[in-house]
Structure 1
Amino acid sequence: MSLDNYFQVVNIEIEDKKLENLKILHLSDLHINKKTSEKKILELVDFCNNLEFDFCVITGDIIDTKVKFIKKQLEILNFLKKEVFYISGNHDLFYGLEDLKKELTNFIFMDNKTLKINYKNEIIHLAGLPDRFSKFFKIKREEKKIKEFLQNSPSIFISHQPKDYKIALNSNLFLCGHTHGGQIYPFHYLVRLVQPFLAGLFYKNKTAIYVNKGFGTWGVDFRFKANAEISLLKLITKSVE
């Protein structure tokens, strides 16, 4: 299937005019495993590099096997153009986050990190948190630090699971994944029992929330009523009624 079938442009309304026309390439849940061909990752990178965006975020679960089995696929990922910011997902933690970080040499790791990004002579505040499963790997989530940083405006928060949306409520934008949009209907309903949002765009107070359905699959290589997703997010100023 052509990657054009997975691609979508999403217009997101925000209040801060400093973010006007910012374009973010949002990828999530690649779930690269032993069966993921180098050709598939090369096609993904080539497709994304033909898009116009300011930077890219990957919201977790890049890998779904030990890194030693997929080094060539991860090397290809490094050729994504522009800056790429990423955070851990539960699968990254399980299969080896430290090994993953060693391979993603051109990426910027954002677990418990804060950054100031220059965009059209304005400062964007970007922050990320480790996945909620990090406590099982003795990795602390510095939620207080991140919350305080996100009070700066404009700000963007990235994390793996939609459950973290409450941390984002001081920010302009929260990007996440994890759900796969349910992956196979009717499992959508089960996902909604444990996650506040399934897929797509939502608004809470001044914060826009976007849940990416992911590019890869988990468990079985099959989707039904939850297509794989490559999203280009375009930020537009919220209209005043």
Structure 2
Amino acid sequence: MKLPITLTLEVSVYHESLNGLKILHLSDLHIDKRFKLSSIKELLSICKNLDYDFIVITGDIIDCKVKHIKNKLELFNDLALEKAVYYISGNHDIFYGLKDLKKELSNFILLDNKMNTINFKGKEINIVGISDRFAKFFNIKRDEKKVSSFLNSNKPTIFLAHQPKDYKLAVLNKTELFVCGHTHGGQIFPFHLLVRLVQPFLNGLFYKEQTAIYVSRGLGTWGIDFRYKANSEITILKLISKTVK
């Protein structure tokens, strides 16, 4: 893995309770047997030196069976020693074993079809996640009805999903922030054209009605260990309320 770009983006949101909240967003690590321990240590070092309130990981942490990479995954638990780490499943996590991944990332909080409420500057904020769309092929429940009830709870909400396609749930329920990954930003130009045929967004920051949408290019690679015109990224999303002057 090449050294990722570290981005800090100001994201406009409506709810004043979110003003100043800083989220470290990681996605699509695709850790496999080829993934070097030195690369993981370098990534963790970068993250630990950043200023943020909590971490979200939007799926595809692994790209092989957990038993082959236990020593690598163990290192990631250190990320949660000081700040909370929330994650949701990606299609690769489900394929290679989400149950085993959950056991290994014992310090992380899995939010598939779940909600967690945090306190930020005296205000309650909900963080909601949903299982990946791939779950149905493995008889894993993806509960859109339950997730919609969480999103419509009248509290400022951050919604985690793996694929950009789930932005519609966020917009329908007037969710303040929707974050996802999956696309790798196309990974290798011009394959981004194919990604755009099946996903509503490729990468970057977008706004739909009252919802801010961020699609990460992710950290790892899938298939060919190569990127072109789609650099890997670590992103700090700094939320700025439109109602705070």
TM-score of the superposed pair, with normalisation by structure 2:
0.95
Of residues 164, 179, 182, the one that matches 1:178 is 182
Q: Does 1:224 align with 2:225?
A: no
Q: Distance in 2 between matches of 1:209 and 1:26?
A: 12
Q: Does 1:59 align with 2:63?
A: no
Q: Distance in 2 between matches of 1:182 and 1:36?
A: 20
One-letter amino acid of the structure 2 residue matched with residue 13 of structure 1: S
Which residue of structure 2 lines up, in the alignment, with residue 71 of structure 1?
A: 70
One-letter amino acid of the structure 2 residue matched with residue 200 of structure 1: G
Q: Does 1:113 align with 2:117?
A: no
How far apart are residue 238 of structure 1 and its match? 2.0
Q: Distance in 1 between matches of 2:237 and 2:244?
A: 21
Alignment of 1:1-241 (within 5 A): 3=3, 6-80=5-79, 81-151=82-152, 152-169=154-171, 170-238=174-242
How far apart are residue 163 of structure 1 and its match? 0.3
How far apart are residue 153 of structure 1 and its match? 2.4
Q: Distance in 2 between matches of 1:102 and 1:42?
A: 21
How far apart are residue 239 of structure 1 and its match? 6.3
Q: Distance in 2 between matches of 1:110 and 1:240?
A: 30
Query: Which SS does the other structure have where 2:78 is aligned?
Result: coil
Q: Distance in 1 between matches of 2:136 and 2:44?
A: 32
How far apart are residue 240 of structure 1 and its match? 8.8
What's the Cα RMSD here? 1.4
C-alpha distance after superposition, 1:210-238 (max 9, x if no partner) = 00000000000100010001000100012
C-alpha distance after superposition, 1:10-57 (max 9, x if no partner) = 110001010000000000000000000111111111110111100000
Compared CA separation, residues 168 and 77, structure 1 to 2 (3 A): same
One-letter amino acid of the structure 2 residue matched with residue 224 of structure 1: Y
CA contact (8 A) 2:179 2:214 kept: yes
Q: Distance in 2 between matches of 1:213 and 1:72?
A: 25
Listed as ranges, the gaps of 5+ residues in structure 1 are none
C-alpha distance after superposition, 1:186-215 (max 9, x if no partner) = 001100000000000000100000000000
Higher mean alpha-carbon deviation, 12-21 vs 139-148, is at: 139-148
Q: Distance in 1 between matches of 2:238 and 2:97?
A: 33
TM-score of the superposed pair, with normalisation by structure 1:
0.97
CA contact (8 A) 1:110 1:128 kept: yes
Q: Distance in 1 between matches of 2:47 and 2:75?
A: 12
Count of residues in Structure 1 that have an aligned counterpart in Structure 2: 240
CA contact (8 A) 1:31 1:61 kept: yes
Listed as ranges, the gaps of 5+ residues in structure 2 are none
Q: Distance in 1 between matches of 2:71 and 2:220?
A: 17
